[in-house]
């Protein structure tokens, strides 16, 4: 269920900035799923490191864990060396070094890396009062573990259609991060920096956050309910408010497409005026652009879910599976079932270039454990 529910605040671990510095560090555990995104992980860790630097003492301490310990390769090819495992962290829940928060970092093929032991550990964290955070596609793991029942959350925009179809009872919004009680979710990428800055702000106040931003050359801290994708003004260079309203109408009516006449009527324009507007601003007709939006959603559902192709066609506003397949092939140069079977990579689908992974030389492991 996709929702625009406002940001939910959390009661997790609030500290006053003026507290005596002679206290135990706040412990954060980062759990790395294979093919995690390095940008989101490193951004989150850097916020904690810079918080310690700005405060002048070890306010935060972190560990890096994986399923069984050892190195975990990120999707960029770099590897991070972890210093803990699920079994170790499950024991530590009942020791003095118990964490205040566990952050799951994931990206591609996240569901294939979930496990009963990982899900059990996360449920144990919840029962022990440890906050749980999902970064990027890790929201899938939290949902599978049953942690998102009646919780507002977010996930990377590219994964949102498939997630909302699979977990229809979970309220999910296309914002950069959500905090609902002890559950923190983040869209990934640079949004993890904003989420962790919010964590630091709750512990040590705005002055500490300002100091971190100065050190990291961050111009501003984004609010949790800001949109993930670029505004149309930046994405297409569109500033015409009529165009923006028309495209927003299209995005909100993908399953049951509106006619161009209805779209034109909604902005008090004629069909001919709308046609001219799209030709001038985007270089194509409104029908073509509308079809591209629907096909983009269909592509996401094909790669993220097991929904039958005929149902995807209907969910994206096509009158039949054959009509959908024809339109999809014309746009992407391949049939929907070929995409589903994994005959192409996401790089090939987006960029239309051959990808030969055997020719890529990846750097060696980097020890990011603290």
pTM of the model: 0.71
> Quick check: is 44 in a domain?
yes
Residue 205: CATH number of its domain: 3.40.50.880
Distance of CA 30 to the CA centre of its chain: 16
Tell me: do 158 and 272 sit in the same domain.
no
> Quick check: is 13 in a domain?
no
Under 8 Å between Cβ of 272 and 286: no
Tell me: do 252 and 198 sit in the same domain.
no
Tell me: do 246 and 204 sit in the same domain.
no
Closest CA to 130 of 167, 156, 169, 104: 104
pLDDT of res. 353 = 30
Q: How many CB atoms lie within 10 A of CB 174?
A: 18
Tell me: do 209 and 243 sit in the same domain.
no
> Quick check: is 222 in a domain?
no
Measured at the CA of 41, the angle between CA 6 and CA 228, to 5 degrees, comes to 35
Is it the case that residue 355 has pLDDT exceeding 70? no
Separation of alpha carbons 127 and 132, rounded Å: 11
Tell me: do 251 and 109 sit in the same domain.
no
Is it the case that residue 365 has pLDDT exceeding 50? no
> Quick check: is 223 in a domain?
no
pLDDT of res. 266 = 93
Tell me: do 270 and 338 sit in the same domain.
yes
Residue % of the chain over a pLDDT of 70:
84
Cα-flanking dihedrals φ and ψ of residue 55, to 5°?
-75, -25
Would you list the DSSP string of 299-310? HHHHHH----HH
pLDDT in tens, 64-116: 999 999 999 999 999 999 999 999 999 999 999 999 999 999 988 888 888 99
> Quick check: is 367 in a domain?
no
> Quick check: is 133 in a domain?
yes
Tell me: do 163 and 246 sit in the same domain.
no
pLDDT of res. 364 = 39
Range(s) of the domain holding residue 168: 26-216
Tell me: do 110 and 245 sit in the same domain.
no
Is it the case that residue 363 has pLDDT exceeding 50? no
Question: In the chain, how many domains are there?
Answer: 2
> Quick check: is 149 in a domain?
yes
Tell me: do 162 and 249 sit in the same domain.
no
Closest CA to 198 of 227, 175, 221: 221
Separation of alpha carbons 216 and 212, rounded Å: 6
> Quick check: is 122 in a domain?
yes
Residue 29 bridge partners (DSSP):
63, 102
Distance of CA 346 to the CA centre of its chain: 16
Spell 204-215 as b/e; 16+ CB within 10 A means b: beeebbebbbee
Q: Based on C-alpha coordinates, what's the Rg of the chain? A: 23
Tokens encoding 56? 């002048």
Under 8 Å between Cβ of 107 and 158: no
Q: Which residue is it, tokens 């790395």?
A: 32
Q: Quick one: three-class SS letters along 196-214?
A: HHHHHHHHHHHHHHHHHHH
SS3 144: helix
Is it the case that residue 356 has pLDDT exceeding 90? no
Separation of alpha carbons 106 and 156, rounded Å: 11
Tell me: do 205 and 57 sit in the same domain.
yes
Residue 338: CATH number of its domain: 1.10.10.60
pLDDT of res. 361 = 35
Tell me: do 43 and 177 sit in the same domain.
yes
Tell me: do 165 and 83 sit in the same domain.
yes
Under 8 Å between Cβ of 170 and 153: yes
**17: confidence class by pLDDT, cuts 50, 70, 90:** very low
Tokens encoding 68? 């069984």
Separation of alpha carbons 129 and 101, rounded Å: 9
pLDDT in tens, 33-69: 999 999 999 999 999 999 999 999 999 999 999 999 9
């Amino acid at each position: 269920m996709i929702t625009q529910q406002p940001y939910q605040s959390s009661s997790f671990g609030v500290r006053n900035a003026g507290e005596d510095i002679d206290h135990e560090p706040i412990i954060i555990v980062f759990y790395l799923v294979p093919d995690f995104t390095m940008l989101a992980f490193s951004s989150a860790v850097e916020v904690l490191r810079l918080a310690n630097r700005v405060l002048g003492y070890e306010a935060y301490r972190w560990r890096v864990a994986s399923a069984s310990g050892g190195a975990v390769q990120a999707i960029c090819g770099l590897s991070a060396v972890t210093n803990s495992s699920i079994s170790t962290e499950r024991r530590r829940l009942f020791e003095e070094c118990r964490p205040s928060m566990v952050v799951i970092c994931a990206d591609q093929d996240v569901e294939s890396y979930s496990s009963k032991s990982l899900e059990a550990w996360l449920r144990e964290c919840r029962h022990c009062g440890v906050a749980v955070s999902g970064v990027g596609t890790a929201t899938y793991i939290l949902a599978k573990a049953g942690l998102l029942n009646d919780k507002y959350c977010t996930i990377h925009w590219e994964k949102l259609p498939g997630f909302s179809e699979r977990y229809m009872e979970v309220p999910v919004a296309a914002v950069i991060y959500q905090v609902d009680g002890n559950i923190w979710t983040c869209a990934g990428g640079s949004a993890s920096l904003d989420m962790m800055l919010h964590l630091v702000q709750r512990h040590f106040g705005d002055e500490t956050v300002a100091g971190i931003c100065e050190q990291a050359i961050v111009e501003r801290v984004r609010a949790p309910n800001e949109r993930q994708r670029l505004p149309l003004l930046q994405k297409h260079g569109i500033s015409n408010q009529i165009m923006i309203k028309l495209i927003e109408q299209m995005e909100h009516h993908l399953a049951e497409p509106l006619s161009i006449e209805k779209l034109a009527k909604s902005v008090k324009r004629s069909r001919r005026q709308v046609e001219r507007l799209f030709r001038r601003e985007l270089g194509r007709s409104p029908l073509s652009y509308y079809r591209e939006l629907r096909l983009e959603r269909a592509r996401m559902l094909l790669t993220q879910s097991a929904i039958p192709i005929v149902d995807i066609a209907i969910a994206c506003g096509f009158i039949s599976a054959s009509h959908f397949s024809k339109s999809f092939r014309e746009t992407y140069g391949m049939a929907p079932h070929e995409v589903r079977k994994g005959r192409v990579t996401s790089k090939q689908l987006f960029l239309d270039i051959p990808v030969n992974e055997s020719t890529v030389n990846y750097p060696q492991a980097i020890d990011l454990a603290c």
